């Protein structure tokens, strides 16, 4: 151990977690960070005493070892926050998670019925393959809801079509969420917490940067070093081993040697900085990887309170802002003057485009106009602002990224004393806690000789948590793969959600049909529809009977939808059973032929 010198590239959550874990094994790592402060994307900026979070970082995790580290470092300075977030769409605000009356009032009866009908249609006839974000979301929410709530915002964030964005991103970010879970969450509290729907989270008193400053101080207290404003310009290798780094700090250039290296820098940048150069095909693969950048316009508003949300998603194509943070509602201590409020307007862009290159004063002016247009603050009350640009914020899951990452991974895995971790280090859109987990597993690989696959750490993959909490528990990975393949091949209809959807549509159709016949009038009102009274006791073609029809229609539609889903799933089960029996007979026949 005394002969080992570990160099960590990057002082974001993954890099600092890595270094902190190394100090627990009596190592003294050196961390190289090119920015002026630690935290990476999870850093906290300060402008005139106002603290700004770069994106809004909830401290919520199902990974026990990560939760333990957070508490170990910053227990007394954690605040328990109640989540409130809404969607701004069509000049209206929708609570998220959904609330029944709010959603119905905002969408209107006709749009709500169209969404439910679309959901039924795509449950019956889903896309057979889910290669793209559009296909993945449509199969779980229906085309109408996809176009209403997902398409505009997602394309604003990523800058590419939803038909090009890969389905893996949706599977990571909203893995357990569907229209069923969203609907059920409106009425009952789910037994299992879904990350997208959590209603409480922890948050450091002065923003996420407070956590990472404390971690950096602890690393240095234990003998490690954290070098800021130091940019890695070259990574030197001898054969399959990394030998040293060349860093530039101001005008000074320095070579730092080490015995082991762990990197969080964008993997494309890593490949391009290797000396000697990586093979041509690996270099080309790195050049094809793309990233989405964003900038935050921080505004100081001369108002004590503006709106109750932590953040608001902006789905309106008429403004360029994608998300708005209300930092005072994350933590009151982030605002030094209680008579004022601070907002963060997030704009998604690419380095070099018009938005990224716009002067700060123009961006501040645009943000002031847009927040006033949405109705969250008055233009005259906004007294100051600043701009913070965040490069390489999101690794893009475009149509070719998988092939490029696969080639780079094969090459990087061949470096004997090198590991890459974190969101950009693995080109994986992980949350903060999973980025930390990659650093923890990398240390265990290095110190304990484990063989953890860092590239497979993914949002909400619980088997990683179980390996950390209970490392002796074995997992039957083959069975998991088989179950996943069957689920992909035979998309199961959810009986409850399908029954609710069919019931809602049936009830409203009977309700509207009854009212229409009553308004139409005549000597005998609705003689044919009146026949339903033989099956629905108490039903009449009257204004009062329309409410009875609404209930009967919902009840019969729910039963019919539930039974249909049950029979369809049963048919698929029987089909799989037949396939299984045939496969069994073929295997037995081959055994007997061999004998």
Helix, strand, or coil (residue 418): strand
- pLDDT classification of 466: cutoffs 50, 70, 90: very low
Question: Strands 6-9 and 260-263: what pairing?
Answer: parallel
Helices (H) and strands (E) in the chain, counts: 22, 20
CA–CA dist 319, 488 (Å, integer)? 37
Are 541 and 530 spatial neighbours (Cβ–Cβ below 8 Å)?
A: yes
Residue 526: the pLDDT is 76
Residue 279 has pLDDT above 90, yes or no: yes
Burial of 290-300, coded b for 16+ CB within 10 Å and e otherwise, reads: bbbbbbbbbbb
Spatial neighbors of 67 by CB under 8 A, at least 6 apart, are 61
Mean pLDDT, rounded, of the chain: 85
Between vectors from CA 316 to CA 313 and to CA 319, what angle results, nearest 5°? 100
Residue 471: the pLDDT is 39
Q: Is 523 left (phi over 0), alpha (psi -120 to 50) or beta?
A: alpha
Are 347 and 322 spatial neighbours (Cβ–Cβ below 8 Å)?
A: yes
CA–CA dist 217, 39 (Å, integer)? 12
Sign for the CA dihedral angle at 163, 169, 174, 176 comes to: positive
- pLDDT classification of 267: cutoffs 50, 70, 90: very high
CA–CA dist 371, 319 (Å, integer)? 9
CA–CA dist 65, 346 (Å, integer)? 31
Query: Across the strands, what pairs with 22?
Result: none
Pick 559 or 481 by higher pLDDT.
Answer: 559
Residue 593: the pLDDT is 53
Are 52 and 388 spatial neighbours (Cβ–Cβ below 8 Å)?
A: yes
**Residue 378 burial by CB count (10 A; 0-12/13-18/19+): exposed, middle or buried?**
middle
Write the pLDDT tens digit of every residue in 528-550.
787 888 778 888 888 888 888 88
Write the pLDDT tens digit of every residue in 250-264.
889 999 999 999 999
- What is the average per-residue pLDDT within 487-511? 75
CA–CA dist 188, 252 (Å, integer)? 61
Residue 490 has pLDDT above 60, yes or no: no
Residue 84 has pLDDT above 70, yes or no: yes
Of 90-94, 311-315, 410-414, 500-504, which gets the smallest average pLDDT? 500-504
Residue 262: the pLDDT is 98
Spatial neighbors of 453 by CB under 8 A, at least 6 apart, are none
Pick 195 or 222 by higher pLDDT.
Answer: 222
Residue 212 has pLDDT above 60, yes or no: yes
Are 85 and 312 spatial neighbours (Cβ–Cβ below 8 Å)?
A: yes
Pick 232 or 150 by higher pLDDT.
Answer: 232
Pick 449 or 524 by higher pLDDT.
Answer: 449
Structure tokens at 14: 């993954």
CA–CA dist 51, 327 (Å, integer)? 8
Are 4 and 259 spatial neighbours (Cβ–Cβ below 8 Å)?
A: yes
- What is the average per-residue pLDDT within 17-23? 97
Query: Across the strands, what pairs with 345?
Result: 297, 324
CA–CA dist 245, 21 (Å, integer)? 22
CA–CA dist 295, 323 (Å, integer)? 11
Pick 476 or 401 by higher pLDDT.
Answer: 401
CA–CA dist 245, 338 (Å, integer)? 47
Among 3.40.190.10, 2.60.120.380, 3.90.45.10, 3.50.50.60, name the CATH number for the domain at 6-40+57-76+202-288+400-473.
3.50.50.60
Residue 263: the pLDDT is 97
Which residue, 392, 326, 361, is CA-closest to 51? 326
Residue 298: the pLDDT is 97
- What is the average per-residue pLDDT within 455-461? 66
Spatial neighbors of 490 by CB under 8 A, at least 6 apart, are 572, 576
**Verdict on whether the full-model pTM lies above 0.85:** no
Pick 568 or 416 by higher pLDDT.
Answer: 416
Residue 183 has pLDDT above 80, yes or no: no
Structure tokens at 456: 């497979």
- What is the average per-residue pLDDT within 73-80? 91
Pick 436 or 101 by higher pLDDT.
Answer: 436
Are 57 and 208 spatial neighbours (Cβ–Cβ below 8 Å)?
A: yes
Helix, strand, or coil (residue 32): strand
Tokens 């204004």 belong to: 543
Helix, strand, or coil (residue 89): strand
Residue 178: the pLDDT is 55
Q: Is the peptide bond before 435 cis (omega within 30 degrees of 0)?
A: no
Between vectors from CA 57 to CA 178 and to CA 10, what angle results, nearest 5°? 120
- What is the average per-residue pLDDT within 449-472? 59
Domain extents in the chain: 6-40+57-76+202-288+400-473, 98-198, 495-594
Write the pLDDT tens digit of every residue in 136-146.
889 888 899 88
First to last CA, the chain: 57
Residue 72: the pLDDT is 95
Between vectors from CA 124 to CA 120 and to CA 125, what angle results, nearest 5°? 115
H or E, element range at 45? strand 44-47
Write the pLDDT tens digit of every residue in 370-383.
999 999 999 999 99
- What is the average per-residue pLDDT within 175-204? 62
H or E, element range at 323? strand 323-326
Q: How far is CA 436 from CA 23, 193, 209, in A?
A: 15, 21, 15
Write the pLDDT tens digit of every residue in 27-49.
999 999 999 999 999 999 999 99
Are 308 and 316 spatial neighbours (Cβ–Cβ below 8 Å)?
A: no
Structure tokens at 19: 């270094």
H or E, element range at 353? none
Residue 483 has pLDDT above 70, yes or no: no
Pick 114 or 190 by higher pLDDT.
Answer: 114
CA–CA dist 541, 57 (Å, integer)? 55
Which residue, 272, 240, 242, 270, is CA-closest to 256? 242
CA–CA dist 549, 48 (Å, integer)? 62
Residue 470: the pLDDT is 36
Helix, strand, or coil (residue 3): coil
CA–CA dist 257, 262 (Å, integer)? 13
């Amino acid at each position: 151990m005394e002969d080992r010198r570990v160099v960590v590239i990057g002082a974001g959550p993954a890099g600092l977690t890595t270094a902190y874990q190394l100090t627990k094994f009596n190592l003294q790592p050196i961390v190289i960070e090119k920015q002026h402060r630690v935290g990476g994307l999870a850093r906290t900026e300060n402008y005139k005493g106002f603290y700004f979070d770069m994106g809004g970082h909830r401290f919520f995790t199902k990974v026990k070892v990560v939760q333990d580290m957070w508490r170990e470092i910053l227990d007394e300075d954690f605040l328990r926050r109640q989540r409130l977030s809404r969607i701004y769409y069509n000049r209206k605000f929708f609570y998220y998670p959904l609330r029944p009356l709010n959603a119905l009032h905002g969408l209107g009866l006709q749009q709500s019925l169209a969404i439910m009908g679309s959901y039924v249609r795509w449950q019956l006839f889903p896309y057979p393959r889910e290669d793209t974000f559009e296909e993945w979301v449509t199969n779980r929410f229906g085309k109408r809801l996809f176009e209403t709530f997902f398409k505009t915002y997602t394309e604003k964030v990523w800058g590419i079509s939803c038909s090009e964005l890969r389905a893996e991103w949706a599977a990571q970010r909203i893995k357990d969420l569907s229209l069923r879970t969203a609907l059920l969450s409106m009425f009952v509290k789910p037994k299992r917490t879904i990350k997208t729907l959590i209603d409480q989270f922890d948050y450091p008193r002065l923003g996420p940067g407070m956590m990472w400053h404390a971690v950096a101080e602890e690393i240095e207290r234990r003998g490690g070093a954290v070098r800021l404003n130091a940019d890695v310009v070259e990574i030197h290798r001898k054969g399959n081993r990394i030998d040293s780094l060349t860093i530039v700090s101001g005008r000074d250039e320095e070579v730092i040697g080490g015995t082991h290296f762990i990197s969080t820098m964008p993997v494309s940048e890593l490949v391009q900085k290797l000396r000697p150069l990586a093979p041509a095909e690996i270099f080309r693969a790195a050049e094809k990887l793309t990233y989405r950048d964003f900038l935050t316009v921080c505004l100081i508003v001369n108002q004590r309170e503006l709106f109750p949300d932590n953040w608001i998603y902006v789905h309106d194509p008429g403004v360029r802002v994608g998300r708005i943070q209300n930092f005072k509602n994350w933590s009151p201590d982030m605002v030094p003057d209680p008579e004022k409020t601070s907002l963060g307007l997030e704009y998604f862009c690419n380095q070099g485009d018009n938005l990224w290159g716009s002067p700060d004063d123009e961006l501040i002016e645009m943000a002031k106009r847009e927040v006033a247009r949405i109705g969250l603050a008055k233009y005259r009350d906004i007294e100051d602002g600043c701009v913070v640009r965040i490069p390489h914020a999101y690794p893009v899951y475009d149509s070719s990224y998988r092939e490029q990452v696969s080639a780079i991974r094969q090459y990087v895995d061949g470096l004997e004393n090198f590991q890459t971790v974190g969101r950009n280090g693995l080109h994986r859109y992980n949350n903060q806690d999973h980025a930390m987990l990659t650093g923890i597993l990398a240390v265990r690989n290095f110190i304990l000789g484990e063989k953890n696959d860092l590239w497979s750490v993914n949002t909400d993959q619980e088997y990683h948590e179980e390996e950390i909490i209970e490392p002796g528990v074995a997992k039957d990975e083959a069975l998991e793969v088989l179950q996943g393949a069957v689920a992909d091949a035979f998309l199961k209809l959810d009986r409850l959600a399908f029954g609710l959807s069919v019931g809602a549509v049936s009830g409203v159709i009977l309700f509207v049909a009854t009212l229409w016949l009553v308004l139409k009038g005549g000597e005998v009102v609705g003689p044919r529809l009146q026949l339903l009274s033989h099956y629905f006791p108490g039903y009449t073609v009257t204004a009062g009977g329309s409410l009875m029809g609404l209930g009967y229609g919902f009840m019969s539609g729910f039963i019919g939808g539930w039974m249909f889903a049950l029979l369809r799933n049963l048919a698929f089960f029987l089909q799989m059973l037949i396939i299984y029996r045939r496969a069994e007979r073929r295997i037995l026949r081959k055994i007997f032929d061999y004998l």
